[in-house]
């Protein structure tokens, strides 16, 4: 991490306990953007620094201050007289080894910076807040290969998910702090926002499949692609299911480094699928406009009476347009032109490959950083000059007789089967993998339940025209709920970013 911190004095106000700067992807003067994976990560970093960090800074609680580029007040980190406090919680993960390491807590401490941030803001009888300092920047190298990217995001996703659950479960600690009533109300809003985000993260794989299913089936309408659309819908659906099953199989039994060809094949498929979904969204929107114009003439008011048009346009504008506007407001719009398309095409990879691998490896609590995947050295014989080794063998008759008598006594003794026992390490591994299985099953069945309910309600295989129309309306309602929720979250992020800019004018951070 290369830093260019210029705003240490930004922590001068007494209520600021910590701050972080803007982390940028190391692009080598833009040359690294040739790699779509780097470009997608650059877009992700940029939008996080433009929308997420400013929003959280406006509330006063930043969910994570990156350990590589953050600063804290020393006095705020101190434990109380009983030894309880932020530092005690932060270093608790260092003591978790063997049977004492609960799997939930072990995953949570993959994101120990998140635990520290929560404990500092919720510290008893204190009113500390966290600040994002945009004028301080640092660069970090990002994974350039899919295997490294998957391993990194496994730790990030699992750590952030379990740390978020911890924060929501211990939210009551906020009421023991000395924050003002207005600040506590802001924290309530922020935690509700985080809970909704976590809910969407849990159901992301199911929601993406349903949006895919509804859009592709919609294209098979007679007024759209007709038979060609139906054939494409069937092909893509079977391929979708096959690739998703492959994701689970690889995540449960293979190392990403040893399955790179499989993973890259999946990445290409998801990119093609996303291209088709983008085409479907645009094509359906255009056809809806043309139909509305032919029936009622051109009018913006009339256009927005079309549910499908309204849903797609609002969701697209609330995300893509707000991305562009917010980037312009922060005077940093270039990633919208150089990285946005790559990020869009890799979105299904984020949702499917990364989420599946992360949840299927909750038993793995290693950091997954570069160099951790090197194999251990196997035991080797000590060779002497000439390729010779020392071997202990009997050399005289006495030794041979002694060994012979020992073997006779062994044969004369009745065999006693050894008592079955499981060592602590095996019990530990069984516990971790059992937890992994429970999490994966719960996650799978939750998403399957949502998909089953909506697809049954959609009734896309029904031949009855009236029933099909009514059920298609319910599918449109489902898409509306999902896309309007995404739009609402985007508006919240944009509002927080705008407020951050207003405050920055006066505070200079």
Reported as a single tens digit per residue, the pLDDT across 395-451 is 677 777 787 778 777 777 777 777 777 777 788 788 888 899 999 999 999 999 888
Q: What are the residue ranges spanned by the domains of the chain?
A: 205-366+429-487
pLDDT score at 437: 93
Residues 6+ apart with CB under 8 A from 451: 206, 209, 210
Give the per-residue pLDDT at 105. Answer: 85
In sequence order, the 6+-apart residues with CB closer than 8 A to the CB of 347 are 274
Residue 244 has φ and ψ, to the nearest 5°, of -65, -40
Query: What was the pLDDT predicted at 460?
Result: 43
Handedness of CA 214, 216, 219, 222 (dihedral sign): negative
Angle, in degrees to the nearest 10, between helices 260-296 and 307-316:
130
Give average pLDDT by consecutive 10-residue segment, the chain, 509 residues: 52 72 89 93 94 93 86 85 83 65 83 89 89 89 93 92 92 91 94 94 92 86 82 93 94 90 94 93 81 70 66 75 92 93 95 95 77 56 66 70 79 74 78 91 93 67 51 69 86 93 79
Q: Which helix (H) or strand (E) holds 131?
A: strand 129-140
**The predicted structure's pLDDT at residue 4:** 54
Distances in whole angstroms, Cα of residue 486 to Cα of each of 131, 204, 311, 480, 493:
26, 12, 11, 10, 11
Each residue of 185-224: b (16+ CB within 10 Å) or e? ebbeebbebbeeebeeebbebbbbbbbbbbbbbbbbeeee
Task: Please give the Cα distance from 111 to 129 (Å, whole number).
Answer: 19
Residue 221: what pLDDT?
A: 78
> What is the model's pLDDT at position 375?
54
**What distances in angstroms separate CA 500 from CA 335, 382, 404, one per listed residue?**
21, 65, 86
For residue 373, what are the contacts with CB-CB under 8 A and spacing of at least 6? 151, 255, 257
Is the Cβ–Cβ distance between 338 and 327 less than 8 Å? no
Long-range contacts of the stretch 244-251 (C-beta < 8 A, 24+):
244/205, 244/209, 244/352, 244/356, 247/352, 247/353, 247/356, 247/357, 248/356, 248/360, 250/357, 251/356, 251/357, 251/360, 251/361
Tokens 């929107």 belong to which residue?
A: 285
How many other C-beta atoms can be found within 10 angstroms of the C-beta atom of residue 352? Answer: 24
pLDDT at 471: 55
Residue closest to 189 by CA, chosen among 60, 315, 64? 60
pLDDT at 458: 46
**24 neighbors 139 (Cβ within 8 angstroms):** yes
**Tens-place pLDDT, residues 38-85:** 999 999 999 999 999 999 999 999 998 887 788 888 888 888 887 788
pLDDT, one tens digit per residue, over 382-397 is 666 766 767 667 667 7
Instruction: State residue 82's pLDDT score.
Output: 79
| Residue entry with tokens 């949702």 | 351
Q: Outline where 254-361 has alpha helix (H).
A: 260-296, 300-303, 307-316, 322-329, 334-338, 340-348, 355-359
| Phi, psi (degrees; rounded to nearest 5) at 78 | -65, 145
Nearest in space to 485 (alpha carbons), one of 81, 83, 111, 195: 195
Whether the Cβ atoms of residue 270 and residue 209 lie closer than 8 Å to each other: no
pLDDT reported for residue 369:
58
> What's this model's pTM, rounded to 2 decimal places?
0.84
Q: How far apart are CA 251 and CA 254, in angstroms?
A: 6
């Amino acid at each position: 991490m290369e830093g260019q911190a210029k705003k240490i004095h930004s922590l001068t106000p007494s209520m600021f306990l910590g701050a972080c700067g803007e982390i940028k992807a190391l692009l080598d003067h833009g040359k690294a953007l040739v790699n779509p994976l780097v470009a997608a990560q650059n877009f992700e970093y940029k939008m996080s620094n433009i929308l997420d960090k400013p929003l959280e800074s406006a509330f006063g609680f930043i969910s994570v201050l990156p350990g590589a580029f953050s600063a804290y007040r020393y006095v705020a980190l101190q434990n109380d007289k009983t030894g309880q406090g932020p530092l005690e919680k932060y270093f608790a993960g260092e003591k978790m080894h063997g049977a004492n390491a609960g799997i939930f807590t072990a995953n949570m401490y993959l994101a120990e910076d998140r635990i520290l941030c929560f404990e500092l803001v919720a510290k008893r009888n204190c009113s500390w807040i966290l600040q994002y300092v945009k004028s301080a920047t640092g660069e970090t190298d990002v994974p350039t290969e899919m295997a490294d990217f998957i391993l990194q995001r496994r730790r990030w996703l699992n750590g952030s998910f379990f740390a978020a659950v911890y924060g929501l479960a211990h939210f009551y600690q906020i009421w023991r702090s000395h924050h003002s009533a207005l600040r506590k109300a802001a924290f309530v809003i922020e935690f509700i926002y985080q809970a909704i985000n976590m809910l969407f993260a849990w159901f992301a794989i199911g929601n993406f499949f349903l949006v895919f299913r509804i859009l592709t089936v919609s294209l098979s309408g007679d007024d759209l692609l007709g038979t060609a659309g139906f054939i494409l819908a069937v092909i893509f659906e079977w391929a979708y299911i096959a690739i998703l099953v492959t994701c689970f199989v690889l995540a449960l039994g293979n190392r990403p480094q040893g399955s790179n060809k499989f993973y890259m094949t999946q990445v290409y498929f998801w990119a093609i699928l996303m291209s088709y979904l983008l085409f479907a969204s645009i094509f359906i929107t255009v056809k809806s406009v043309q139909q509305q114009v032919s029936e009622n003439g051109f009018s913006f008011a009339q256009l927005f009476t079309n549910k499908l048009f309204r849903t797609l346009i609002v969701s697209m504008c609330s995300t893509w347009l707000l991305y562009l506007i917010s980037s312009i407001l922060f005077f940093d719009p270039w990633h919208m032109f150089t990285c946005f398309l790559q990020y869009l095409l890799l979105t299904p990879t984020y949702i499917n490959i990364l989420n599946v691998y992360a949840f299927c490896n909750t038993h793995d609590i290693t950091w997954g950083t570069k160099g951790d995947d090197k194999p251990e050295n196997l035991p080797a014989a000590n060779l002497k000059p000439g390729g010779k080794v020392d071997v202990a063998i009997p050399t005289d008759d006495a030794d041979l007789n002694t060994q012979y008598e020992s073997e006779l006594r062994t044969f004369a003794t009745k065999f006693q089967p050894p008592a079955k026992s499981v060592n602590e390490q095996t019990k530990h591994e069984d516990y971790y993998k059992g937890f992994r299985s429970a999490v994966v099953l719960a996650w799978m069945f939750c998403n399957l339940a949502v998909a089953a309910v909506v697809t049954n309600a959609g009734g896309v295989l029904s031949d009855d025209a009236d029933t099909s129309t009514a059920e298609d309306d319910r599918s449109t309602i489902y898409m509306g709920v999902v896309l309007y929720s995404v739009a609402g979250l985007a508006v919240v992020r944009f509002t927080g970013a705008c407020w951050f800019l207003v405050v920055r004018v006066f505070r200079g951070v």
